[in-house]
Amino acid sequence: MDRITLESPLDMHLHLRDGDTLTLVAPLSAADFAGAVVMPNLVPPIDALDALDAYRARIAVACDTARFSPWLTLFFRAYSHDELAAARRQIIGVKLYPEGVTTNSAGGVRDLRGIDATLEHLEALGIPLLVHGETHGFVMDREREFLPVYRRLARQFPRLTIVMEHITTREAVELLGEYDNLHATITLHHLLITLDDVAGGLLQPHLFCKPIAKRPEDREALLHAALTGHPRVMFGSDSAPHPRSAKEAAGCAAGVFSAPVALPALAELFADRDVLPMLQRFVSDNARAIYRVTPPLRRITLERVPWRVPDHYGAVVPFGAGTTLAWQVTARA
């Protein structure tokens, strides 16, 4: 099978940033995806309706939102029921970051036991909770240590849709089997790399991300979930652009910029595993069912035609820069 046409592919975890970076990267996502869940961790964070509306307008200037739906999120804080009721039709969810756990999360949640009032409002209003699930423990254990938090939330708020963002471990995949209200996004890079690719030889700064890539057995668990069409797993690139000056530097910024290569690399991965028809579920069908969204109708055709990934897009280096991918997008309709 050397060709596939995807109907309305979706990226359910995307960073578009702001300013010149937004202008650079938003069209790259809009070219191949019908919609995306856009993260709110700007500086300052998007945590009010006026900021949300202004950001939506800037995204519209940067790309053609008639063919690409930017589904926006609010940055988690203590919201009243009235605030969330007013925002309900303008957001796809509320994103929870533990304080200081990743890029631009200094204003995140410090006390995870003190958030229940807001969670009650989210559950009552049917607004999903999206979570960056890491502690401040040893870097390889941070996601595993956060799993008890997911268990508490899933039990205490059984009608709340909870999305474990960019999961990286076997244990996180297994947790999906415990609670029906838990769902997960998986990135392209966590399907392809392990920590050895990041730091096993010379340090590869453009592969450094949070959560950090884990062990081979963790990657295999992620692959199994994605390739077999697990109904509560969906694609979220966590494409997170940083300028080269911030990546190739002391204090390397965390983030992998994968938006322009995501669909070709996924097509190659699924084709190599002889499950290319399952790609539609992973990049669209499951997300539509979980979030109950109807994206613009788009048809993106990919074929087994090699192409070389550019060394850079502006000041940003993409995932796989300079390598040759076996598949590429050949038609957009």
Of the CA atoms within 13 Å of residue 186, those in its CB half-sphere come to 34
Active site residue 197: no
pLDDT at 1: 85
With CA atoms as reference, report the closest residue to 163 among 134, 196, 185: 185
- Pull the structure tokens for residue 107: 């204003």
Look up residue 308 and give its DSSP letter.
Answer: E
pLDDT at residue 248 in the model: 97
pTM above threshold 0.85: yes
Nearest CA-CA partner of 28 in 64, 4, 71, 52? 64
Domains of the chain in sequence order: 10-294 (3.20.20.140)
Which of 115, 130, 122, 225 has the alpha carbon at shortest distance from 168? 225
The continuous run of DSSP H or E covering 188 comes out as: helix 188-192
Euclidean distance between CA atoms 117 and 120, whole angstroms: 5
pLDDT string in tens for the chain (333-residue length): 899 999 999 999 999 999 999 999 999 999 999 999 999 999 999 999 999 999 999 999 999 898 999 999 999 999 999 999 999 999 999 999 999 999 999 999 999 999 999 999 999 999 999 999 999 999 999 999 999 999 999 999 999 999 999 999 999 999 999 999 999 999 999 999 999 999 999 999 999 999 999 999 999 999 999 999 999 999 999 999 999 999 999 999 999 999 999 999 999 999 999 999 999 999 999 999 999 999 999 999 999 999 999 999 999 999 999 999 999 999 999
For residue 150 the two structure tokens come to 């997911």
User: Residue 311 and residue 167: Cα distance in Å, rounded?
Assistant: 28
Around 148, how many Cα atoms within 13 Å sit in the side-chain half-sphere? 6
Catalytic residue (choose from 238, 272, 274, 311) = 238
- List the beta bridge partners of residue 316: 313
* CA dist., res. 331 & res. 329, Å (int): 6
Q: Are 67 and 35 in contact, with CB atoms under 8 Å apart?
A: no
Find the helix or strand (DSSP H, E) in which 71 lies: strand 69-75
**Under 8 Å between Cβ of 300 and 32:** yes
C-alpha span between 220 and 224 (Å, rounded): 6
